[in-house]
Amino acid sequence: MRTKQEILAAIAPDLEKIEKTLSQNFASYVPFINEVSRHILFAGGKRLRPLLMVLSARLCGEPTSPRTYRLSVLFEYLHAATLLHDDVVDGAQFRRGRKAAHHLWGNQAVILVGDFLYSRAIRIAVEEGNMDVLDVISETTTLMSEGEVLQLINLDNVELTEESYFEVIFRKTAALMAAACEVGAIHARGNSWERPALKAFGTYLGYAFQITDDLLDYLGAKDETGKDIGTDFKEGKVTLPYIIAMERANPADREELIALIKEKEAATPENFRRACELLEKYDAFDATRQKAREFVDKACEELARFDHSPTRELLTDIAQYVLTRKS
Amino acid sequence: MRTKQEILAAIAPDLEKIEKTLSQNFASYVPFINEVSRHILFAGGKRLRPLLMVLSARLCGEPTSPRTYRLSVLFEYLHAATLLHDDVVDGAQFRRGRKAAHHLWGNQAVILVGDFLYSRAIRIAVEEGNMDVLDVISETTTLMSEGEVLQLINLDNVELTEESYFEVIFRKTAALMAAACEVGAIHARGNSWERPALKAFGTYLGYAFQITDDLLDYLGAKDETGKDIGTDFKEGKVTLPYIIAMERANPADREELIALIKEKEAATPENFRRACELLEKYDAFDATRQKAREFVDKACEELARFDHSPTRELLTDIAQYVLTRKS
């Protein structure tokens, strides 16, 4: 398996083309929209979703062209639109190490620029001129908005089950990665099994990615993730580590876990530290890591259906990297 | 020209089918989304945009079918999505005579349900399977988000020109009505001049509609419009009546008009009454009405290119009605 540096070197040429395409295409007739878009689009995003699309297309034998990169950036626009609306929703202070957009321009502007980026994404899909692509995208955005609503409804629901948790993360994260991979296959005119295989790969990878993200909210370091730590917890957002601990805890510890996450208004670093202690006590972090690993394994099984190739190896390494990432 | 009651009787069969299609199609897998959607979708909306699409299709000779009505409701979804995001933005207390959605469920939920309705609209366009329709819709939603942003930027800009005002209302209102009419023509496989003629009709009608709306914000009565009166003014939203008065006013009255609209935080009914007095002094309301009339005339000229038919008469009457509407 390659190191992070080796993976970055291998994807550098594609990333460069994605960056270039992004900076050429987001422009609006309204300068203010460009300012806000630039803030969210060029704040050190990993470009994982466009990259997944490009690599999926290549895996199906497509010689990547400017059209491929052009199509790929729609996934970054969709992702950015979600981040903007999500920031308003969560009231996050930081995003990718910078002040969240709504703290700079207010909720109102941020919502509307999110709408603009979303429209622009659909526009790119329309320009591709392939109804299958539009079918996938419109299905995906519906799922994504449902996922965000579900997440909001589930706030403070300390009885959230693993099943409900997976339902949410499928919609809010896995669906878009699945779409990126599936659209890559469609763009490359992939055959009857390639398209569903890449869709499944993206789905499993998305689960693993979100689970790791939720783990990083407990265990990450702000200077590496660029996000505040413990924000999910402070907002009463129940994620897998907490759910697992709740399943395993004795009645007294369950009581304490519930009290800790419900104390939102007066949440102190001490609350969060104590919660981490309890999650550690029940091996919730290890169990969560294990769950993420299972999804990565499933993702790699889908890749194994394809012939051996440098692109297959690279996608496999990216999937493995998701587990060890620190940001 | 028909009375309002006669117009309502003539459109009743179409409206009934539009309502039925709407109530059958908005359902989400998430009950909460349905609750919020229902609040905004079934709060006495006039269904003007779906109706314009259906009548435009019929004008081009399409025998309207369930597919026509199904396609038409996407315009109500888009409109509702905009209303939801707009309510957050404007902080409106009332919408269509009911409490604005964000006062019932909070900004966060309302943004996300707006996203859902928007996705659902795109989904319907995809199901129509016509790339021209998707082209129009994606272009339109981009314009609409730009229009909303421009409107936000222009808040408190007491020097707003008529030109900038028309730029905003083209994007935020006229573009969607134009799209509804143009999609009607596309759906009906209208010929080379029908499609642009109906697009132009919708654009002019949209201008007239928004100008009248802005006039009603000064002169309407809450029990008829279902909206608070003077809200635009209190928020510092500069619209045509104000712009015209500013163009015509002597220096002293200009000063006073500026002071009145800038006193947002401490806006009193007295402020608003005094502003109305000044606008009246410079015949700004009459001049605004006159502008709306000019757009309706242009809209009707486009209709005049079509052969005489009951549908043409009905569209003409609807266009005329826009001028006299009280809500």
Q: Taking CB atoms and an 8 Å limit, are B146 and A28 in contact across chains?
A: yes
Per the CB < 8 A criterion, the answer to whether A29 and A159 are in contact is no
**Does pLDDT of B97 surpass 70?**
no
Buried b (16+ CB within 10 A) or exposed e, B299-318: bbebbeebeeeebbebbbbb
Based on C-alpha coordinates, what's the Rg of chain A?
Answer: 20
pLDDT computed for residue B205 by the predictor: 98
**Does pLDDT of B95 surpass 60?**
no
Q: Taking CB atoms and an 8 Å limit, are B115 and A85 in contact across chains?
A: yes
Q: Taking CB atoms and an 8 Å limit, are A112 and B28 in contact across chains?
A: no
How many CA atoms does the CB half-sphere of A83 hold within 13 Å? 24
What is d(CA B53, CA B17) in angstroms, rounded to the nearest whole number? 13
Per the CB < 8 A criterion, the answer to whether B176 and B185 are in contact is no
In sequence order, the β-bridge partners of residue B94 are B99
Name chain B contacts of A108, Cβ cutoff 8 Å.
Answer: 88-89, 152
Decide if B111 touches A, using CB distance below 8 A. Answer: yes
Domain extent, residue A150, equals 4-324
**H or E, element range at B164:** helix B162-169
Section B205-221 average pLDDT: 93
If phi > 0 it is left, if psi is from -120 to 50 it is alpha, else beta; for residue A58 that is alpha
pLDDT computed for residue A98 by the predictor: 61
**Residue of A112, A137, A235 to mutate, testing the B interface (most B Cβ within 10 Å of its Cβ):** A112
DSSP string covering B264-322? -TT--HHHHHHHHHHHHHTTHHHHHHHHHHHHHHHHHHHHTTSPP-HHHHHHHHHHHHH
Name chain A contacts of B107, Cβ cutoff 8 Å.
Answer: 88-89, 107
Q: What angle do CA B155, B157, B158 make, to 5 degrees?
A: 125
Q: Which of B178, B213, B226 has the alpha carbon at shortest distance from B198?
A: B178
Q: Which of B105, B107, B138, B108 has the alpha carbon at shortest distance from B121?
A: B138
Considering only residues 57 to 76 of chain A, which have any Cβ-Cβ distance to chain B shorter than 8 Å? none
Provide the token pair at B124.
Answer: 């319907």
User: To the nearest whole angstrom, how far is the Cα of B274 from the nearest Cα of chain A?
Assistant: 29
What is d(CA A20, CA B77) in angstroms, rounded to the nearest whole number? 35
Q: pLDDT for B9-48, tens place per residue?
A: 999 999 999 999 998 876 788 888 888 888 888 877 889 9
* Residue in chain B nearest A110 by alpha carbon: B149
**Does pLDDT of B96 surpass 60?**
no
pLDDT computed for residue B168 by the predictor: 96
User: To the nearest whole angstrom, how far is the Cα of B104 from the nearest Cα of chain A?
Assistant: 14
Name chain A contacts of B153, Cβ cutoff 8 Å.
Answer: 30, 32
Section B90-113 average pLDDT: 69
- When divided into structural domains, chain A yields a total of 1
**Residue of A138, A140, A168, A171 to mutate, testing the B interface (most B Cβ within 10 Å of its Cβ):** A138
Section B82-109 average pLDDT: 69
Provide the token pair at A109.
Answer: 């502007």
Provide the token pair at B50.
Answer: 């779906």
Q: Taking CB atoms and an 8 Å limit, are B129 and A131 in contact across chains?
A: yes
Name chain A contacts of B126, Cβ cutoff 8 Å.
Answer: 131, 134-135, 138
Q: Taking CB atoms and an 8 Å limit, are A108 and B119 in contact across chains?
A: no
Q: Taking CB atoms and an 8 Å limit, are B112 and A152 in contact across chains?
A: yes
pLDDT computed for residue A127 by the predictor: 95
Residue that has been written with the tokens 């642009």 in this structure: B196
Name chain A contacts of B168, Cβ cutoff 8 Å.
Answer: none
* B112, B150, B153 member nearest A148 (Cβ): B112
Average pLDDT score, chain B: 90
Q: Name every residue whose Cβ is closer than 8 Å to that of residue A207 and which is 6 or more positions away in sequence.
A: A166, A169, A170, A173, A174, A292, A295
pLDDT computed for residue A262 by the predictor: 87
Residue that has been written with the tokens 């005339």 in this structure: B297
Q: Taking CB atoms and an 8 Å limit, are A142 and B107 in contact across chains?
A: no
Cα dist. B190→B62, B134, B181, B317 in Å? 9, 16, 11, 22
User: To the nearest whole angstrom, how far is the Cα of B228 from the nearest Cα of chain A?
Assistant: 20
Name chain B contacts of A152, Cβ cutoff 8 Å.
Answer: 108-109, 112
In sequence order, the β-bridge partners of residue B235 are none
Q: Average pLDDT for consecutive 10-residue bins of chain A (327 residues)?
A: 89 95 82 87 88 98 94 96 79 56 76 93 95 97 94 89 97 97 97 97 98 93 67 89 97 95 77 94 97 98 97 96 82
Specify the higher pLDDT residue, B289 or B153. Answer: B289
If phi > 0 it is left, if psi is from -120 to 50 it is alpha, else beta; for residue A28 that is beta
pLDDT computed for residue B170 by the predictor: 98
Decide if A251 touches B, using CB distance below 8 A. Answer: no
Give the 3-state secondary structure of residue A200.
helix
pLDDT computed for residue B38 by the predictor: 86
pLDDT computed for residue B166 by the predictor: 98
Per the CB < 8 A criterion, the answer to whether B326 and B238 are in contact is no
Per the CB < 8 A criterion, the answer to whether B134 and B74 are in contact is no
What is d(CA B158, CA A49) in angstroms, rounded to the nearest whole number? 44
Decide if B7 touches A, using CB distance below 8 A. Answer: no
ipTM of the complex: 0.89
Q: Taking CB atoms and an 8 Å limit, are A146 and B118 in contact across chains?
A: no
CATH of the domain at A120: 1.10.600.10
Q: Which of A34, A83, A125, A42 has the alpha carbon at shortest distance from B146?
A: A34
pLDDT computed for residue B49 by the predictor: 97
Q: Taking CB atoms and an 8 Å limit, are A112 and B150 in contact across chains?
A: no
pLDDT computed for residue B224 by the predictor: 63
Provide the token pair at A160.
Answer: 């959230």
**Does pLDDT of B93 surpass 60?**
no
DSSP annotation of A326:
-
Decide if B234 touches A, using CB distance below 8 A. Answer: no
pLDDT computed for residue B40 by the predictor: 84
Based on C-alpha coordinates, what's the Rg of chain B?
Answer: 20
**Regarding beta strands A98-99 and A94-95, do their DSSP bridges make them parallel or antiparallel, or are they unpaired?**
antiparallel
pLDDT computed for residue A109 by the predictor: 84
* A113, A138, A153 member nearest B119 (Cβ): A138
Section B138-167 average pLDDT: 93
- Helices assigned H by DSSP within chain A: 4-25, 31-41, 48-59, 66-90, 101-128, 131-153, 162-169, 175-187, 194-219, 222-225, 231-234, 240-248, 251-262, 269-281, 284-303, 310-324
